[in-house]
Amino acid sequence: MKGHFIIILLLSTILSCKKEMKEDSRMENTPVITKEENPVMVKNEDDLLVPDFSVKLQLDPALYKKLKSSKESVVAAYYFYKIIDDDQKVNADLQQHLDGNQLEILTGKTEESQLSQPEITFHFKGLALPKKLENAAPNTTLHLNINFFSGRKAFEDNIMDAELLDVPFEKVLHSTGPLILKAKLLPSQH
């Protein structure tokens, strides 16, 4: 019953907006994406805006002490991707974004260098996915991978052993608050 109500509501909204959409020719080719269908929103003709989200990284006391005393930073490297089935075809111009069966949608990193407490909250805001990549595999789930490591400013190698986040992006959006991951000092650094 609830599903039928939503469908009727969507149809009436679409029909009432039909005249306005015809007046703006730029909107004719812009896909309507709902949060239930896809966790991204239309930003412009080329990009899809990712809703803001946060991830907390809890540092164990030994790691926090070492990072803070050496003025080391913590990096969160993120990677949005889709898993492509073997029988799925990807346009030739998008082949460069394939890594095995993963279609790379967006990569980047953010860094926190002012450690004032043993918990770091990384805020991911204003991220935009290239629409041509997001739409390249329309019936596949968007995934998010975040890997945490030390910034290698004070140390030559990474000194952190952090949990890895690798989940369908919908799970991030449907969480009631920031996702919480833990990190400790690598055993070789004790």
1-58 per-position pLDDT tens digit:
444 434 444 334 443 443 333 333 323 332 333 344 455 566 677 888 999 999 999 9
Query: In angstroms, rounded to a whole number, what is the distance separating the alpha carbons of residues 81 and 104?
Result: 5
45-99 per-position pLDDT tens digit:
788 899 999 999 999 999 999 999 999 999 999 999 999 887 777 777 777 888 8
- Phi, psi values for residue 10, rounded to 5°: -65, -45
- Average pLDDT over the chain reads 79
140-153 per-position pLDDT tens digit:
899 999 999 999 88
Q: What angle do CA 99, 105, 109 make, to 5 degrees?
A: 95
Beta bridge pairs of residue 119: 58
CATH class of the domain whose range is 39-189: mainly beta
Domain residue spans in the chain?
A: 1-30, 39-189
